[in-house]
Amino acid sequence: MKISSDIKSIQYLRAIAAISVLCFHVSDAYGLEFRVGAAGVDIFFVISGFIMWVTTEGKPVGPQEFMVRRLFRIVPLYWIATVATFVMAVLKPQFFFNMDTTVGNLIGSLLFLPVMKGEAMHPIVEQGWTLSYEMFFYLIFSISLLLPEFRRPWFLMAALVTVVMAHYLLPLGYLSVFTEPVILEFAAGIVIGRLWKQGFRLSFHASIGLMVVGFVLLLASDLMPHVDRAVRWGIPAVLLLSGAVFAERERGVPKLSFLHFLGDASYSIYIWHVLTGVLVTALLLRIGVRHAAQPVFLALGSLAFAIVCYLFIERPILRKMRPSRPQPAYRG
């Protein structure tokens, strides 16, 4: 079942999340205020929990098959982007501030265990820290596939909550990072996915209400700068996804071809936009674009180059890996 094609709102949210993160990085580079764009990561995490549940419930998927599928889906493109970014950073370090370009960090980044600085991971691909969380979640989810289906949601909720509780007992380091409360966003996605698979319905107006509340909370999130992101951005992300999928169940949504395409390309947009942004920045400086106009051109140029990467790198990889059947468009 092609979940993202069947549930168009998931596709649209993924496109919006990827572009939001892109705009966040552009605004950050120019000292502009668009911190809420970082919430695209939290939307991705909730979507990931949702998708992992709905694509495995009722299907004979074992842990090994699940992990192999996820690795094939995530790893090739991420490794290509990591190596490409590493080479560019070595050749043009002036465009990559504070990046650890040691071979150790390259290897660690490829293995989703990049160098730690303070309380955060700093992989070669700046936004790659989120994939470390994805892989950790996939590991827990794969273990749940050993259990009877009726026990899986209880195991997942208990495991993810226990992991977060351990965060407050562990010393700083990888264990502390991987047990951050943001992990609960995957759990929320699982709950929504289970309700969706069980045929749960919410009135259209109530669903739209959830989306409106989620959007308002995102707009107001700058008023809570010191609140943990699992609350600050995670709760709005949960409301947006819940409202979107249940509103679509009630009345459907039109197929917006370009937004649907951006949903397909969202992983490439997310993975490549920092590196393509460096290339666009160099081009803008070379042709002498005014500083005030640079953010807009940088955002559009980064998006355009990332789409090219989707068309000529990601999509051919997907076709080669699954030549016998169409490739589902979903992303974790």
pLDDT digits (tens, 9 = 90+) for 241-260: 999 999 999 999 998 999 99
Read off the pLDDT of residues 60-81 as tens digits, 9 standing for 90 and up. 999 999 999 999 999 999 999 9
Residue 54 located in a structural domain? yes
Q: How confident is the model at residue 3 (pLDDT cuts 50, 70, 90)?
A: low
Read off the pLDDT of residues 256-273 as tens digits, 9 standing for 90 and up. 999 999 999 999 999 999
Q: How confident is the model at residue 197 (pLDDT cuts 50, 70, 90)?
A: very high
Residue 78 located in a structural domain? yes
Least confident of 4-18, 156-170, 186-200, 306-320: 4-18
Q: Which one-letter DSSP state was computed for residue 255?
A: -
What average pLDDT does this structure show over 103-115? 97
Residue 290 located in a structural domain? no
Cα gap 207→185, rounded to integer Å? 19
Cα gap 260→274, rounded to integer Å? 22
**What residue has token string 């807009």?**
296
Give bridge partners of residue 116 from the DSSP assignment: 121
Q: What is the pLDDT of residue 330?
A: 41
Total structural domains within the chain: 1
Residue 55 located in a structural domain? yes
In single-letter form, the type of residue at position 196 comes to W
Q: What is the pLDDT of residue 225?
A: 84
Residue 206 located in a structural domain? yes
Residue 23 located in a structural domain? no
Residue 136 located in a structural domain? yes
pLDDT of 2 strictly over 90: no
Q: What is the pLDDT of residue 325?
A: 46
Closest CA to 67 of 156, 169, 141, 149: 141
Cα gap 89→99, rounded to integer Å? 8
List of residues 6+ apart from 133 with CB closer than 8 A: 45, 178, 180, 182, 183
β-bridge pairing 116-117 and 120-121 = antiparallel
Cα gap 74→70, rounded to integer Å? 6
Q: How confident is the model at residue 331 (pLDDT cuts 50, 70, 90)?
A: very low
Q: What is the pLDDT of residue 47?
A: 98
Do 275 and 84 meet the contact criterion of CB atoms below 8 Å apart? yes
What average pLDDT does this structure show over 311-321? 94
Cα gap 107→115, rounded to integer Å? 10
Residue 63 located in a structural domain? yes
Segments forming the whole domain that contains residue 75: 37-260
Cα gap 230→237, rounded to integer Å? 9
pLDDT of 236 strictly over 70: yes
